[in-house]
Amino acid sequence: MVLSRFWLVIFISSILFVVVSLFSGNSYTIDHVLNGKKDDPILLSEHYLEQMPVFIKDSLKKAPDQTMVINRDTLNADTTYVYKNKVVKVFSGVQKSDGLLPTCKSTLLDLILPLMAYLAFFCGLMELLIISGASEKLAKVLSPVFVKVFPSIPKNHPSISYMTLNFAANFLGLDSAATPFGLKAMESLQTINPEKDKASDAQIMFMCLHASGLTLIATSIIGYRAAAGASNPADVMLPCIITSFIGTIAAFLIVGIKQKINFKSASLVLGLMVLIAAIVGLLMYVNHLDLIGKNYFTSNLSALILVAIIAFTLILSFVKEKKFTEAGTTVYEAFVTGANNGVKTGVTIFPYVLGMLVAISLFRNSGLFEIVSNWVAFAFSNMGVNKQITDALPVALLRPFSSAGSRGFLIDSMNTFGADSMTGRLSSIFQCSAESTFYVIAVYFGSVNIKNTRYALGTMLLVDVICVITAIFVASWFF
């Protein structure tokens, strides 16, 4: 219900703002909101050639392509004059994201189809792990900890192994693997959910822990920083780990208090200590590496572990081939069956993702998001917050809505202020410290047709705020 109302508010307020802007003269056209493409110039006005100033008129006549660009600098939007069919079109600024209709197309072609391919492959592997018995053994090993965090899950339940693989993939920055494992976990949790259209306690806990985005290897962020010319692309790795870890602990505590979890459990404390020890050990190892060593380690560890998981699954399936025969199938046929289920899951979640992304597209292109972010930055600046911090806030504000959109702000902030500036580094920490909340809600709950998300959305947004505040303090401390 909360998600539905929030979606309606975004959609309706954006439409009203677009219409008011058009009829009040603040916008010349609203076509870009429907049909425009990201980074396309925005049409401001049209004039007859005779109405233009003399220097513009002469320049357009002399230009080979009858196009003139002024104010060409890196900090302000260029103004472009294009003379065509007796009319001069004036463009300024660029579109922040694809319009509504291109978003519909790109959601299918650039997001859902690749996601379906990932789902097909990893769900195929999951089927092999299930039949070979590996997932059952993993669930038995981790049950003592998981039954404390998820009291409603029966001991040795298959969802435990799926959630473990999802968390592991998230830790290592393996987004393409994390989503299939996570969707499989949601499907498994749905089998023990007594109210099928209402999120269970276990599903909410899993979603909030997943969305808190604990990341040990921020591979993509390091790549963006390297491309932007950072002197040490991996210097945000430790702040990213600290911020995302605090976000994860906050999510666990908030949901745990709500669900009356026993925080004094010995197995729970032991599991938490093992996790902290693993993080500290990783940090100590990475910290003693030089620049080239850090880049080499971060770029190869995640890939090696993913390859190891694939190799382990296939080798184990070969060794346990007898179990596949007993199940009336073969290793290859089992993989195909799992892959087919993955494709079906991708088809199921498409409408949920589409509905969310077109609303976000309209929200950004209407100009409403920019006004909100400017007001937030203005409020922070009046509170005495450093301008380098307020310049990074658009990344934090857009991150819950769109990973791609916030990534665009991240790249722009590094290009504008420098990858090694406080703004560039803080933007990087914002980008890797949490998930895209509304996308995650749409995908995960949509995959099992849950309509009532209960307190999941509110908790996830609260964790986002905690991550933003933590990121500011951590970045100020480190840089």
- Structure confidence by residue, pLDDT tens digits, 22-40: 888 778 888 888 888 887 8
Contact 424, 228 (CB under 8 A): yes
The pLDDT score that the predictor gives to residue 74 is 46
Mean pLDDT, residues 390-413? 80
pTM (predicted TM-score): 0.77
Q: What pLDDT score does 189 carry?
A: 93
Q: What is the mean pLDDT of residues 449-459?
A: 89
Residue 291: pLDDT band with limits 50, 70, 90: low
Tokens of 119: 């789902």
pLDDT score of 73 more than 50: no
Angle at 154 between CA 151 and CA 158, to 5 degrees: 115
State the pLDDT at residue 99. 87
Per-residue pLDDT reduced to its tens digit, 245-264: 888 888 988 998 999 887 77
**How far apart, in whole angstroms, are the C-alpha atoms of residue 92 and residue 43?**
7
44 sits in which H/E element: strand 41-48
Asked if the model's pLDDT at residue 76 lies above 60, the reply is: no
Say if residue 68's pLDDT is above 50.
Answer: yes
Tell me the mean pLDDT in the region 199-216: 85
Mean pLDDT (the chain) is 82
Kindly give the interhelix angle for 134-149 and 266-287, rounded to the nearest 10 degrees: 110
Residue 75 pLDDT: 46
Share of the chain above pLDDT 70, in %: 93
Say which amino acid occupies 396.
Answer: A
Q: Write the pLDDT tens digit of every residue in 140-190.
A: 777 777 878 888 888 888 888 888 888 877 777 666 678 888 888 999 999
Cβ atoms of residues 224 and 180 within 8 Å: no
Question: What per-residue confidence (pLDDT) applies to 266?
Answer: 67
DSSP 455-470: THHHHHHHHHHHHHHH
User: For residues 269 and 148, is the Cβ–Cβ distance under 8 A?
Assistant: no
Predicted confidence (pLDDT) per residue in 324-378, tens digit: 998 888 999 999 998 998 888 888 888 888 888 888 888 888 888 888 888 887 7
Query: How far apart, in whole angstroms, are the C-alpha atoms of residue 410 and residue 93?
Result: 18
Alpha helices in 237-330 (DSSP H): 237-258, 266-287, 291-319, 321-326
What is the distance between the alpha carbons of residues 345 and 217, in angstroms, rounded to a whole number?
Answer: 28
In 3-state terms the chain splits into helix, strand, coil percentages (rounded to 5) of 70, 5, 25
Distances 278 to 229, 301, 306, 349, 374 between C-alpha atoms, Å: 31, 15, 18, 34, 40
